[in-house]
Amino acid sequence: MAERRQPLISGNWKMHHDHFEALRTVQKLSYNLADHDYAKVAVSVHPPFTDLRTVQTAMESDRMKFALGAQHCHWEEKGAFTGEVSPVFLAKLNLAYVICGHSERRELFGETDDDVNRKVKAILKHGMTPIMCCGETDAEREAGEAQSKVEGQIRAGLAGITAEQAAGLVVAYEPIWAIGTGKTATPEDAQEMCAVVRRVVAEVHGADAAAGVRVQYGGSVKPGNAADLMSQADIDGALVGGASLDADDFAQIVVASV
């Protein structure tokens, strides 16, 4: 069986930080992290589209050691898709990762499992790594449908890709039910569902793919709970939202995950 991959801590800035704020944030983050941190944990930041060129230039000129990613893309390379961004454009910026199927894209903008699958394929085609998100709502969890919902999302997202490609993916489990509901996902809750993700990858693409895929947890990760979450057997990293906007908090999460 293949060895498990290096954990990945990703900061999803959503619709926050203009390019000036983004520049200050990555500069401070780079200052806060040491070489020995990167030796054990991979780190990526995912600013808004308008920030990407500024951040890319700063990262390359200052030789920052974390990776750059986008929050979203279209599956087509070009066309009459006003407001969308081509994976070709992102690849030209030397991006390493692209988030796809985030719960907000699914819930607010109507992205389907088929849309996510097409994006996964497009991201892979252009040499970047998808961070494919999955997760259930509060109503689905209360109805006992959590595992079936996530299983369906994973199977749909993996359709038509090879076992080798699956092994290189990042899958982020987001408990939508724990976001803005007052409910809390415990490390045990997170582990249970991340184990489901790895099991489904194994069923679809085999044990080596399941060992290689990195399974992130993405639900209110903070400096205070990061270590407990990262200690779980099937959690290989975190997709961090609000806490990643502050370079000090995000660096603490990275250090806690080492």
Identity of residue 103 = S
Determine what percent of the chain falls in helix, strand and coil, rounding each to the nearest 5: 50, 15, 35
* Beta bridge pairs of residue 173: 134, 217
User: Which among 102, 104, 126, 205 is annotated as catalytic?
Assistant: 102
Whether the Cβ atoms of residue 76 and residue 102 lie closer than 8 Å to each other: no
Mean pLDDT of 178-185: 73
| CATH number of this structure's domain 8-256, picked from the four choices 3.30.70.980, 2.60.210.10, 3.40.630.30, 3.20.20.70 | 3.20.20.70
Give pLDDT, residue 3. Answer: 55
Mean pLDDT of 195-221: 96
Extended strands (E) in 77-227: 97-100, 129-134, 170-173, 214-217
pLDDT, the chain, mean:
95
Residue 227's SS3 state is: helix
Catalytic site includes residue 102: yes
Mean pLDDT of 203-220: 95
Mean pLDDT of 4-22: 93
CA distance 237 to 88: 27
CA distance 244 to 249: 7
Whether the Cβ atoms of residue 100 and residue 131 lie closer than 8 Å to each other: yes
User: Which among 104, 111, 136, 174 is annotated as catalytic?
Assistant: 174
Give pLDDT, residue 182. Answer: 65
Classify residue 218 by its DSSP letter: -
Q: How many CA atoms lie within 13 A of 134 on its CB side?
A: 32
Q: Is the predicted pLDDT of residue 117 greater than 70, yes or no?
A: yes
pLDDT band at residue 2 under the 50/70/90 scheme: very low
The 10s digit of each residue's pLDDT in 46-65 is 999 999 999 999 999 999 99
Q: Is the predicted pLDDT of residue 73 greater than 80, yes or no?
A: yes
CA distance 134 to 165: 18
Provide the residue ranges of all domains of the chain, joining segments of one domain with +. 8-256
- The angle, 0 to 180 degrees and rounded to 10, between the axes of the packed helices 19-32 and 247-256 is 40
Supply the pTM of this predicted model: 0.96
Dig out the tokens for 26 from the structure. Answer: 């990555």
Identity of residue 70 = A
Report CA torsion sign: 140, 144, 145, 146.
positive
Give pLDDT, residue 21. Answer: 98
Mean pLDDT of 71-93: 98
Give pLDDT, residue 1. Answer: 41
